[in-house]
Structure 1
Amino acid sequence: MKIMKKLRLKIRGWRKKYLDFSNNTYKIIWALFFFVLISLSLSLDLIPNQVDLRAGQVSQNDITAPRTITFVNEEKTSELQREAAETAPRVYEEDSTVKEEVFNKINNFFESINQKRESFYLNQISQVETDSNQEKKETDSEKEIPAFEKINFSESEKNEIINLIKKDLDFEIKDENLVSLIVLSKSELKDLKNKAINILEQKLDNRILPSDLVAVRVDLRQQVMEMDLARNKRLFLADLVESVISANMFLNQEATAKRREKAVSEVEPVKKTVRQGEIIVRKGDVVTEVDIKVLEKIGMKKSGINYYNIAGRVLISFILFSVLGFYFYKYQRKIWTDNSKLILIELLILIVVILSKILILFQNPFVDYLVPTAMASILLTVLIGSETAVISTLFISLLIAPVYDMNFNIVLTSFLAGLIGIFSVTKVKERGDIIRAGLNISFILAFLIGGLSLLQQNQNLTYLIWSIGAGIVNGLLVGILANGLLPYLEDLFDLTSSVKLLELSNPSQPILKRMLVEAPGTYHHSVIVGNLAETAAEDVGANSLLARAAAYYHDIGKLKRPYFFSDNQFGGENPHDKTSPNLSALIIKSHVKDGVELAEKNGLPAKIIDIIKQHHGTNLISYFYQQALQTNKHDDIEKKDFRYDGPKPQSREAAIIMLADITEAAVRSKRFNKNNHDRIEGFVRGLVKDKLIENQLDQSNLTLSDLDTIVKSFVKVLTGIYHQRVEYPEKLLQEMKGGN
């Protein structure tokens, strides 16, 4: 359940991001997008052939070779040639200069170190002698310089020496290794150089391919790290030999290419012979790619795109799309202005067209009767309305006609199946009704397809049975697909079906169960408001199911602070006695906002969320307003602070729930004889009249006649609730209690 809830919330987020468009630009973009997709779907595989077969189809006849022909199996031959080229040995040549280049790098590196640090060392001695004002001595270039390990270069001098050394390098050595190196003596440096040359010489005496370099470097580092040297020397030596080692074997591209060409040329072409009269494809066999190749070689399959056919199908699609769009623009403005509903219609049309293209691949006249046009008809009826479903069903039936080469039987069965589906779900009450609609379609199609078969004077009993079976399967398939897609389409396009409303009206819903436990008074109030709203909505022709479901959830915001509302106080302490009127009014108002947040968190439909927002309109919280006027000694009390934020009811259902809400609360709290029908009616009429005068019903589309009907409906329900009960005789009471 949690996974499905998260999925629904993700779908809603996607819908808000990509489908909530209100201007005509996006309307045109989506229309063009779906038109292109449908045109492409209709135009696929329109390549006429001498033998109209494609890979994967079942051949309806035996296809025999008209003559003997021998040809090269290019695919098999190419495969063998690729294998020969890949297995041909590569040609490598040794580069004898690599070893010399590596040793030169080592020698130059150590020579550079000696030169750079000797220069700094001499400068250091010269500077010391100058500062001591001693007599300057000539420096003998042949004279041995004292051991460098006794000289301490400053950090800046070390950095400068390192920078000078790195300028002469054509490989990378880490700075920390160079720092530890420049303070070593000449003898130590010479020893490190000899060790590096010895290790590298051992490696370079062997063949080193470019692909072997990584492994060679790892081996060199391991050898160095196992030497009996100080850690800093081992790290430097490992860094050095890894940096200068190079491959001494290189791929001879030209020689390798020639060897591959020779290997490919030695492959014998794979030939295939088809003799005259030989069966290429047997009746009932699935055509393979090899069969198609044979047909092409033998000249029985000619390729060529029929652009006239494609243009005709695109033109038909354009005309049908234009007519459908004009119909919605002219006669169903609510659909035309709602982009999400237009996209839903286009999406279902596209799904049916694609499914019809998939079914035609079977090249079987029985499978053709499985086109699930009625699936779109049922879903559109449940989610939008029967008028939209009828015109869309006609559009789909005409659109798939070119797919089946203008087969009248397919068009007729698709349209009639759609109509049956529409009639079957006009007043759907539960998901089982959709399955029953599929069974209705199966029943009617069985007779319809049987009649069409007899009309064609087809006396083949097998054909008749298979055709009727296809019609029966069509209905079952439609029921399964429609039932499965319905909840996802509801969430994706934020449409509320009667099935969804019935599910939300179930008392086992988590929010309702929570309200029953945490706010039982509010729950009882909501149930009665639901009864009032449902009866009144049905009497005035509004959506009674929406009115009942929305009434159950209109006060869920009270769950946040249930004890602040009189419904749930049950004669206990009133927390408002300890708060100011302004704060009390703010708390009372906040239950609307809290209800909206809770509804969005639990994924309730937008229609119910809108009613939660609107069920109090901009009504004044008069009790706390009057209390504020009495307790406040200043004139700073403003009515707007004691009004709900609104908006006013925007639909008949929202207005009915507003009236049912105040009616139930007022009648329950009013102290008068509730058994008096006239007293209740007069009281209810006064409440409705007040809201009418306050202009709370201006945007709800309710007429005065509707309001009169609503009052009568409310009174009928209330008198049923508060009717006077018959007093049972004492003897009957004893019998009911089990007495003697």
Structure 2
Amino acid sequence: MKLWGYMVEKVEESKFDFYKNKLFQQLVWGIFVFLVLALLITIDFLPDRVDLEVGQVSDNDIKAPKTIKYIDHKRTEELKEEAADAVSKVYEEDVTVLREIKKEVNHFFALVKDFRKRDSKLEIRVSNIKARTKLRLAREDYTYLLKLKLEKINNLKEDILAILVKYLTRGVKSDYLAQVKEQMKREVSKIGRSRQYNQLVKNITQQTIEPNLILDLRETRKRKERAKERIKPVKRTIHKGEIIIRHGRVVTEKDVQKLKLLGLRDPKVDYSNIIGYSVIILIMLGVIIIYIYQYHRQVLNNMSQLYLLGLLPIIILLLARLANYLPTNYPSFLVPIAAASILVAVLVDTDIAIIFTVGLSFLVAIVSDETIADIAVAMISGISGIYSVTKLSQRSDLVRAGFIVGGASSLTIFAFLLTNPVLELVSFLKIVPLGIINGVVVAIITNGLLPYVENIFGITSPVKLLELSNPNHPLLKRLLVKAPGTYHHSIIVGNLAEAAADTVEADSLLARVGAYYHDIGKIKRSYFFIENQIGDENPHDKLSPNLSTLIITSHVKDGVEMANNYKLPEVIVDIIKQHHGESLVSYFYQEAAYDDKYENVDESEFRYPGPRPQTKEAALIMLADTVEAAVRSNIAVQSNPDKLEKFVTDLIKAKLNSGQLDESDLTLKDLDKIASSFVNILKGIFHNRIEYPDNIAQQFKEGEAKNDSSN
């Protein structure tokens, strides 16, 4: 219901210009992906007419689009089973069984009679009997026997032996023992004695009866197999992909018959399979979409990521189609599913990558027409690839991920091959290396495609962000040289934003890198910003407040231009645009408002152009930027922890009250965590230091000299 409400809300937002609406774009892309996937999977079930007559020469190879058995295979099997069932089972009689059973029964009752006469305690006599017989009876049974009169004991033994001899004389077959025991139970109930008496007869006969006609499985199986062999085999099978008519061969009547059986002479659309597989695809896509909506809703609003999530399975299924033409019986083992899994994990989200891999593994198995082993290999290779890039720090880690994928795939393939005892060592040596080849292909694809995918879809990977965080990046080096104060300020803002991001579940790496570049626009006019000024001269003293404001606020526009010139990712550009939001340049606004020289001061002329921060990371950088600059300029709060905490809290509250955080995802609880994080970092930066005396160097030298002389 929530998902439906979300869709209705999006539609209501834009009844006009629907083609520009994000929901419309999402629906169109989703339908397109579904149709392409359905086509790739069900293309074998579309009609493909072959107009060949007897005597014609085939212009190309004709392959079977599906597997069929065109002779009455079912009837053939029925005939074989009937012939096998008609064969009588072969039994071998064991003449020692009756003798041994009698011996056991007589031995048991001899024990009972012997211990019946003794004067020892009942429990001791029962224990002794139990220790000397194989029979296992209840304690009340032994008590009953030891108290029973001798005559009744003899009657009991005779009744038991009579039943056992009766059935063993008839012959007890090894595979009918359970039925014989049931018959004996019914016969015992007819003896007409007391309940406990009958129960003893039943317990002892059930425990002692054994089959004396042993089924000779080997001989019986031989006779059944000989009976089956007399039935002439009529089974005929055409396998999917099998060449029915080769190029350049003259078509025979038999060939035409095969074409008819395959439905190629009078083709019909296999609607049942097409609908079935389409529903399967729809279910898998639905599960993934609902999962993303429930747990990663921000991905639905990122069309670049949605395009990537839709395009990757299409590419993988195309590769699976091509793999079917490779000279191997296991083409799915070569499909680089792990490459798609790794790209999704690096560029979108690890959790989404896992569920994406599971669904894609099943789709590839359907295309390859393979078994559970192929699904398992695909799934394990993909998930191992995802786990291997969870701490991606450089592009060479992708090569390591490829080797991990290759090892996991090979091990899985080897394990499944062990379950097939028919395969020989040569087959192992041919099939297991397919997993290693898959891993190498995955490493090549991910390393080669990642930069292009980042540029095409505008998605920034952690690897790209780590590269941008390198101090040797040309733009950061320019910032260090042209605006050293701003560079130092940006580093501290990065530390503040990164620490705060960890507390509110934001992207800490993006927050740090965004902070490094948020003020690069100050390179153009660095001397107009206080952190880069040396001495008491301030160029703003000679300018009007309006002009000063224009210069100050223009560093955002200049920063965006520089970022675009250096091809920085869009997420960094957005942070540069949003890190001041629509904040008021209060110093110059107040100067103009309270100076009689300026009339009709318009507040909007003293604000940054915006937009306001749209993400947690942009909002964190705005707050860190404000807090760092304010605390650095206020010496009074730097050495007082209580004042520092209140000062930081007031600064954050001011941004909240001015509406600058309204469009970010930060909550009030998040703001408390951010304030605490900022205060902890700032305490470390502005902690009290020990004041050393002026002659400390001289004292150190004298101390060293004394130590040298004593040594």
TM-score between both structures, scaled by the size of structure 1: 0.60
Offset of residue 726 of structure 1: 5.3
Query: 8 Å contact 2:578–2:612 — kept in the other structure?
Result: yes
- The one-letter amino acid paired with 1:653 is E
- The separation in 2 between residues aligned to 1:349 and 1:363, in whole angstroms, is 24
What are the ranges of 5 or more consecutive residues in structure 2 without an aligned counterpart? 1-18, 53-58, 64-241
Greater mean deviation of Cα atoms: 640-649 or 25-34: 25-34
Change (3 A) 1:294 1:732: farther
Offset, 1:584: 0.3
| Uncovered stretches (5+) of structure 1, i.e. residues with no partner | 1-19, 58-286
Deviation readout 1:291-335 (Å, 9 max, x if unpaired): 632375897696666667865664355224422443355342333
CA distance in 2 between partners of 1:339 and 1:484 (Å): 23
**Structure-2 change in CA distance of 1:56 and 1:418 (3 Å):** farther
Partner in structure 2 of residue 293 of structure 1: 248
**8 Å Cα contact 1:564-1:575 kept in structure 2:** yes
Asked if residue 607 in structure 1 is aligned to residue 571 in structure 2, the reply is yes
1:474 correspondence with 2:473:
no
Aligned to 1:503: 467
Q: Which residue of 2 aligns with 1:38?
A: 37
- Distance in 2 between the 1:332 and 1:711 partners? 31
What is the aligned partner in structure 1 of residue 628 from structure 2? 664
Letter of the structure 2 residue corresponding to residue 417 of structure 1: S
Letter in 1 for 2:29: W
Q: Is the 8 A contact 2:388 2:401 kept in 1?
A: yes
Residues 706, 339 of structure 1: alpha-carbon distance in 2 compared, 3 angstrom cutoff? closer
Choose which of 692, 700, 720 in structure 1 pairs with 2:664: 700
Which residue is equivalent to 2:507? Answer: 543
Looking at structure 1, the residues matched to 415 and 49 of structure 2 have their Cα atoms a distance apart, in angstroms, of 32
Task: Give the letter for the 2:468 counterpart.
Answer: L
Q: What CA distance in whole angstroms lies between the structure 1 residues aligned with 2:283 and 2:29?
A: 17
Equivalent residue of 2:416, what SS? helix
Matched, 1:579 2:543: yes
Structure 1 match to 2:282: 322
Letter of the 1:460 partner, please give it.
E
Contact kept, 8 Å, 1:370 with 1:474, in 2: the verdict is: yes
Rate the CA distance shift 1:37–1:689 in 2: closer, same or farther, 3 A: closer
State the Cα distance separating 1:554 from its structure 2 match.
Answer: 0.7
Query: Aligned-pair distance for 1:718?
Result: 1.8
Judging changes above 3 Å, is the alpha-carbon distance between structure 1 residues 477 and 452 closer, same or farther for their aligned structure 2 residues? same
Give the deviation of 1:358 after TM superposition. Answer: 1.6
For 1:736 and 1:501, the matched residues in 2 are separated by 50
1:419 aligns with 2:379: no
Q: What is the alpha-carbon distance in structure 2 between the residues aligned to residue 322 and residue 345 of structure 1?
A: 15
* Alignment correspondent of 1:196: none
Alignment match of 1:444 (pick from 408, 423, 438):
408
Q: Who is 2:452 aligned against?
A: 488
Cross-structure match for 2:55: none
d(CA) in 1 for partners of 2:244 and 2:540? 82
Measured in 2, the distance between the counterparts of 1:738 and 1:596 equals 59
Q: CA deviation at 1:661?
A: 0.3
Confirm whether residue 594 of structure 1 aligns to residue 558 of structure 2: yes
Q: CA deviation at 1:725?
A: 4.3
- The correspondence of residues 618-629 of structure 1 with structure 2, limited to 5 A, is 618-629=582-593
Change (3 A) 1:567 1:538: same
SS in 2 for 1:294: coil
Q: Tell me if 1:531 matches 2:470.
A: no
Instruction: Give the Cα separation in 2 of the matches to 1:56 and 1:390.
Output: 40
Distance 1:296 1:662 in 2: 84
The one-letter code sitting in structure 1 at the alignment partner of 2:367 is V
Cα distance change on mapping 1:37 and 1:702 into 2, 3 Å: closer
What is aligned with 1:689?
A: 653
Give the match's secondary structure for 1:293. Answer: coil
Alpha-carbon distance in structure 2 between the residues aligned to 1:296 and 1:362 = 27
TM-aligned CA deviation for residue 680 of structure 1: 2.6
| 1:559 Cα offset (Å) | 1.8
Residues 42, 313 of structure 1: 8 Å contact kept: no
Of stretches 438-447 and 673-682 in structure 1, the one that deviates more from structure 2 is 673-682
- Residue equivalent to 1:384: 348
1:44-89 per-position Cα deviation (integer Å, ceiling 9, x unaligned): 6777999xx98799xxxxxxxxxxxxxxxxxxxxxxxxxxxxxxxx
1:214 aligned residue: none
Among 596, 618, 621, the alignment partner of 1:632 is: 596
Deviation at 1:621, TM superposition (A): 0.9
Q: Residue 293 and residue 453 in structure 1: after superposition, are their counterparts in 2 closer, same or farther (change >3 A)?
A: same
1: CA distance, partners of 2:604 / 2:644 = 31
Q: CA separation in 2, counterparts of 1:353 and 1:32? A: 17
Equivalent residue for 2:338?
374
Return the alpha-carbon distance in structure 1 between the equivalents of residues 516 and 506 of structure 2. Answer: 17
- Larger RCO, structures 1/2 (Cα 8 Å, 6+ apart): 1
Q: Deviations over 1:655-704 (max 9, x none)?
A: 11111101111122212363443333232222222222323222222223
Letter of the aligned partner of 1:293 in structure 2?
Answer: G
Answer with 289-298 or 718-727: which moved more. 289-298
- After TM superposition, the structure 1 = structure 2 runs for residues 146-545 of structure 1, keeping only pairs within 5 Å, are 292-294=247-249, 311=271, 314-333=274-293, 334=297, 335-545=299-509
Q: In the alignment, which residue of structure 2 is the partner of 1:569? A: 533
Post-superposition offset of 1:573: 3.1
Structure 1 Cα separation of the partners of residues 703 and 409 of structure 2 = 57
Distance (whole Å) between structure 2 residues aligned to residue 428 and residue 454 of structure 1: 34
Going from structure 1 to structure 2, the CA distance change for 1:409 and 1:601 (only over 3 Å counts) comes to same
Contact 1:366 1:466 (8 Å CA) reproduced: no
Q: Which residue of 2 aligns with 1:713?
A: 677
Secondary structure of the equivalent of 1:434?
A: helix
Q: 1:43 to 1:708 in 2, by over 3 A?
A: closer
**Aligned with 1:361: secondary structure?**
coil
For residues 342-361 of structure 1, give each alpha carbon's deviation from its aligned partner in whole angstroms, at most 9, with x where no partner exists.
22112110111111112211
Deviations 1:452-492 (A, max 9, x none): 00112244112112322111221222122122211211111
Identity %: 43
Contact 1:43 1:310 in 2 (8 A): no
Query: Relative to structure 1, is the Cα distance of residues 568 and 368 closer, same or farther in structure 2, using a 3 angstrom cutoff?
Result: same
Contact persistence 1:35–1:317 (CA under 8 A): no
Please identify, of 512-521 and 567-576, the stretch whose mean Cα deviation from structure 2 is larger. Answer: 567-576
CA distance in 1, matches of 2:60, 2:699: 85
**TM-score, normalised to structure 2's length?**
0.63
- 1:495 alignment partner, SS class: coil
The reply on whether 1:653 has 2:617 as its aligned counterpart is yes
Partner of 1:397: helix, strand, or coil? helix
CA–CA distance in structure 1, aligned partners of residues 704 and 405 of structure 2: 54
| CA apart distance, 1:629 | 2.2
Q: In 2, distance between residues paired with 1:354 and 1:372?
A: 11
Which whole-Å CA distance do the structure 2 matches of 1:534 and 1:24 have between them? 33
**Change over 3 Å in CA distance of 1:738–1:546 after alignment to 2:** farther
Deviation per CA, 1:185-209, whole angstroms, max 9, x where unpaired?
Answer: xxxxxxxxxxxxxxxxxxxxxxxxx
Q: CA deviation at 1:542?
A: 1.0
Distance 2:361 2:522 in 1: 51
The alpha carbon displacement at 1:40 in A equals 4.2
For the pair shown, the structure with the greater C-alpha radius of gyration is 1
